[in-house]
Amino acid sequence: MSIPGLDTWLKTPQGLYVTSWERPRIEGIVSDVFGYNALQLGLPQFDLLGDNRIPLRQKVGESGAVDVRCDLRQLPFAAASVDLVVLPHVLEFNDDPHQILREVERVLIPEGQLVIAGFNPLSLWGLRRRLPGHPEGFPWNGDYLSVPRIKDWVKLLGFEIDRGVFGCYAPPCTDAAWLRRYHFMEAAGDRWWGFAGGVYLLRAVKRVHGMRLIMPKWNPRRVPRKALSAVARKGIERSEQ
């Protein structure tokens, strides 16, 4: 997926602020995931799978320095063939995020892992894009998705969220000096308003529950045997005649 303005924004103080928080945390999450195949969908400017030990790691996207060029809504991978998928700021900048998640669910193996990075609408960053005269272009032109909304979507696809973290609590200043002045908000945000970070990371696991055979409920009571009844002597004598 080609996002206009992304390359330029990544070099700005805002972009450096966000990526300097996200990259080490994503790398830490994926470092202990094992398997054979891993995919990074989007943001090919960074190698977010570099610390992972899966042998085949590929960047996938519609443009840029990717290993596989394709539409993220139609991934050219077999079902249940991928162990790990990383989605860095893909869902909020695509017209069909549901289909992307459906494709991710299709290609992941049972117990495969999904890592999602997104901008938080319930934050100072989300508020900034709603104010009059907000800046144009990336990242303000995206459709920010809240964490509860993402949780609902992935739950319907059979995923279970097992880890989540918020970060980047400073206001979206354009000046690096002001971002440094607001650095104290990182520790304060984690302690007092953890849900209001500018960005979030979620890790989900694809659960596939086994089939359970439901047997009929049999009556455990045994039917008593019929007692033997004595044959009348008179009836025996009549039969002998």
Q: What is the pLDDT of residues 86-126, one digit of tens each?
A: 999 999 999 999 999 999 999 999 999 999 999 999 999 99
In degrees rounded to 5, what are phi and psi of residue 167? Answer: -160, 180
Q: What is the pLDDT of residues 22-36, one digit of tens each?
A: 999 999 999 999 999
> What's the pLDDT score for residue 135?
78
pLDDT band at 192 (very low <50, low <70, confident <90, very high): confident
Report residue 204 as tokens: 């989900």
> What's the pLDDT score for residue 219?
61
Q: What is the pLDDT of residues 194-234, one digit of tens each?
A: 788 999 999 999 998 765 656 566 666 665 665 555 555 55
Question: Vertex 2, ends 52 and 161: CA angle to 5°?
Answer: 45
Closest by alpha carbon to 100, among 129, 71, 128?
A: 71
Q: What is the pLDDT of residues 138-169, one digit of tens each?
A: 999 999 999 999 999 999 999 999 989 999 99
> What's the pLDDT score for residue 163?
87
Spatial separation of the C-alpha atoms in residues 103 and 72, rounded to whole Å: 8
Question: Vertex 144, ends 138 and 147: CA angle to 5°?
Answer: 140
